Amino acid sequence: EAGIFPNPTIDNLYLTLDVTRNISSVMDVNIIDMLGKVVKSNTLNVQEGLNVFEVNTSDIKAGTYLIRINNGKQSLVQKFVKK
C-alpha cells in the first residue's frame, strides 16, 4: 500500500510505502508528466513495514504528474499536482 502527501506539493513530496515481506526490497519510482515523459526517476531500498521517503520536486515545473511505483511484479500509479 502506498500514499503521497502533501498533494498538491511545492518542493517536497513524501511517499509512504507499507511493505510486506512478500515484496521486493528495491522499488523504482518514476514521476511522469501528462504527456507520458519520465521527468524524474529514483530507486528506493525498502524494508518490511512502513517506509517514508522524501522526493524532491523543486526541479520539476508546475503541473499535474503521475508517480509510478514498481517492484518488478506490481505497479502502482497515483496522481499529484506540483504548484
Please write the tens of the pLDDT for every residue from 56-75.
999 999 999 999 999 888 89
How far is residue 16 from each of residues 5, 34, 81, measured CA to CA in Å? 8, 23, 17
Q: Has residue 35 got a pLDDT over 70?
A: yes
**What integer is the mean pLDDT of 21-33?**
86
Residue 10, pLDDT above cutoff 80: yes
Angle at 44 between CA 15 and CA 2, to 5 degrees: 30
Mean pLDDT of all residues in 31-39: 98
- pTM of the predicted model, to two decimals? 0.90
